[in-house]
Amino acid sequence: MRLLLLWLHRWTGIILALFVVMIGLSGASLVFHDEIAHQVRVPEVALTSAPSLSADAIAASVRRSFPDWQFQTLFWPEDASSPWFAEVRKGQVGAVGETALAIYLHPQTGEVLKAHDYSRSAWRWLQLLHFNLLSGRNGRLANGILGLATLFSVLTGVCVWWPARRGKPLLRINRSASMNRVMWETHQVAGVYTTAFMIAACLTGSYFAWRGPVHQAIATVFPMRFMNQAVLPINPPPQGKSLPIESFLPAISAMIPAYPVTRVIFPERPDAPIRFIVYEGSRSQFYKASNLFFHPTTGELLRADLIRDRLTGDSIVQWIGAVHYGAFGSWPVKLLWLLGGVLFPVIAITGLIVWMNKRT
């Protein structure tokens, strides 16, 4: 049995080596994406004595400046000296060649301070590589399959190592040994000490390829209120002009008085609701978000996914993404996730070197 497991581990590792190197390096490069992007991309705001504009005035400025674009989302400023942030797009998003802009607007004048083209962003390219293998929805499915195959390689490696560990000293790398021995020990040490991280990364990463089925599976074991329920289309579809953004805010404030509205997502289809998001924490802690869905023309509350109403299954689903991105802690957690991402290619490359040296 051990020889079979060793053979499976070796050949799945060889076949998946390029994928593991790519997914590890791209993931590691994105760990501090939000912090770096905020420093590099967000423009400074020169405040005046004028009052701040309303969300509707800012939205009108976006639509005037980009009339042929689909207005996707609008973020409120993080503080009084921060700009509004909006995203507009054309065509499909999530694949190479996408056309989408990140727009920053002055909170008092509505002036467009900066429009960042995602299609020319190295960060965005890395995101598409890591999420979708640069291939949209089909790439995300392939990513999920390859993630599970990587998990299989990790588990077979553990099964090979576990029986042989007895009676041996603590795992370490003997730098005075031959190069081939150093490669073997590096492969073993890195693999063993990052086993839990690799299992978590593979499982949570594969989740994004099959969100719906995973939600249903979790709901069969744990009580769930929101995440296994799709947002239903509005029937009949709304007719007429949408209500002002500001008209929805009193109802949201009444339900969540302790936190301000953070984001609005506009309907992408004629029968879709307008969605408001309230983060009950920092914006990087997306798992602490309440989502409220309204009829865009009548203002009727259609659905409220509030943090305080979550059941165990809902919380598990939210934590899947938090664990994958390392978003549940401060910079020490992110440093560990960065190291884990870097060790993915280290394990793959040292395994390949050991295999090639044995063939010669």
Which parts of 235-317 are beta strand (E)? 263-265, 274-279, 289-294, 301-305
Question: Does residue 270 lie in a domain region?
Answer: yes
199 plus 118 within the same structural domain: no
Q: What is the CA radius of gyration of the chain?
A: 24
Question: Does residue 20 lie in a domain region?
Answer: no
Q: What is the pLDDT of residue 167?
A: 55
Question: Does residue 114 lie in a domain region?
Answer: yes
DSSP annotation of 46 reads -
Q: Which of 129, 149, 167 is the last residue of a domain?
A: 129
Strand partners, 114: 104
In this predicted structure, the answer to whether residue 33 has a pLDDT above a threshold of 90 is: no
Q: Averaged over 185-193, what is the pLDDT? A: 91
Order of strands across the sheet with 99-105?
A: 112-117, 99-105, 84-90, 70-75, 263-265, 274-279, 289-294, 301-305
- CA dist., res. 59 & res. 336, Å (int): 39
Domain that holds residue 64: 33-129
H-helix or E-strand containing 84? strand 84-90
DSSP 197-257: HHHHHHHHHHHTTSHHHHHHHHHTTS--SSTTS--PPPSSPP-SPPPPGGGGHHHHHHHST
243 plus 123 within the same structural domain: no
* Mean of the per-residue pLDDT values of the chain: 91
pLDDT by residue (tens digit) across 213-259? 999 999 999 999 988 888 889 988 888 899 999 999 999 999 999 99
145 plus 125 within the same structural domain: no
Q: Which of 26-40, 81-95, 187-201 tops mean pLDDT?
A: 187-201
Question: Does residue 27 lie in a domain region?
Answer: no
Q: Which of 112, 129, 146 is the last residue of a domain?
A: 129
Q: What is the pLDDT of residue 124?
A: 85
In this predicted structure, the answer to whether residue 360 has a pLDDT above a threshold of 80 is: no
336 plus 211 within the same structural domain: yes
Q: What is the pLDDT of residue 77?
A: 95
Q: What is the pLDDT of residue 282?
A: 79
Q: What is the pLDDT of residue 328?
A: 85
In this predicted structure, the answer to whether residue 281 has a pLDDT above a threshold of 90 is: no
- CA dist., res. 199 & res. 20, Å (int): 13
Question: Does residue 22 lie in a domain region?
Answer: no
96 plus 148 within the same structural domain: no
63 plus 188 within the same structural domain: no
Among residues 288, 285, 294, which one has the least CA distance to residue 265? 294
Give me 235's structure tokens: 């029937």
Question: Does residue 207 lie in a domain region?
Answer: yes
Judge contact between 241 and 326, C-beta under 8 A: no
Among residues 49, 66, 65, 67, which one has the least CA distance to residue 107? 49
Q: Chain centroid to CA 224: how far?
A: 22
Give me 284's structure tokens: 């990087």
Q: Averaged over 321-337, what is the pLDDT? A: 90
187 plus 236 within the same structural domain: no
Helix (H, G, I), strand (E, B) or coil at 69: coil
Q: Which of 129, 163, 185 is the last residue of a domain?
A: 129
Secondary structure of 88-155 in HEC code, one letter for each residue: EEECCCCECCCEEEEEEECCCCCCEEEEEEHHHCHHHHHHHHHHHCCEHHHHHHHHHHHHHHHHHHHH
Q: What is the pLDDT of residue 170?
A: 58
277 plus 232 within the same structural domain: yes
pLDDT by residue (tens digit) across 155-182? 999 998 887 766 565 577 888 888 888 9
Judge contact between 350 and 21, C-beta under 8 A: no
204 plus 342 within the same structural domain: yes
Among residues 116, 64, 39, which one has the least CA distance to residue 85? 116
Question: Does residue 99 lie in a domain region?
Answer: yes
- CA dist., res. 176 & res. 27, Å (int): 32
What is the rounded (10 degree) CA torsion for 156, 205, 331, 75?
Answer: 180
181 plus 267 within the same structural domain: no
Measured between alpha carbons, how far is residue 3 from residues 8, 185, 259 in Å?
Answer: 9, 19, 58
As a whole-number percent, the residues of the chain with pLDDT over 90 amount to 69
H-helix or E-strand containing 71? strand 70-75
Judge contact between 291 and 276, C-beta under 8 A: yes
Q: What band does 358 get if pLDDT is binned at 50, 70 and 90? A: confident
User: How many domains are contained in the chain?
Assistant: 3
203 plus 180 within the same structural domain: yes
**End-to-end CA distance of the chain, in Å?**
26
257 plus 290 within the same structural domain: yes
Q: What is the pLDDT of residue 120?
A: 79
- CA dist., res. 106 & res. 114, Å (int): 10
Lowest mean pLDDT among 90-99, 110-119, 261-270, 276-285: 90-99
Which CATH number goes with the domain that contains 59? Answer: 3.10.450
Q: What is the pLDDT of residue 123?
A: 83
Question: Does residue 156 lie in a domain region?
Answer: yes
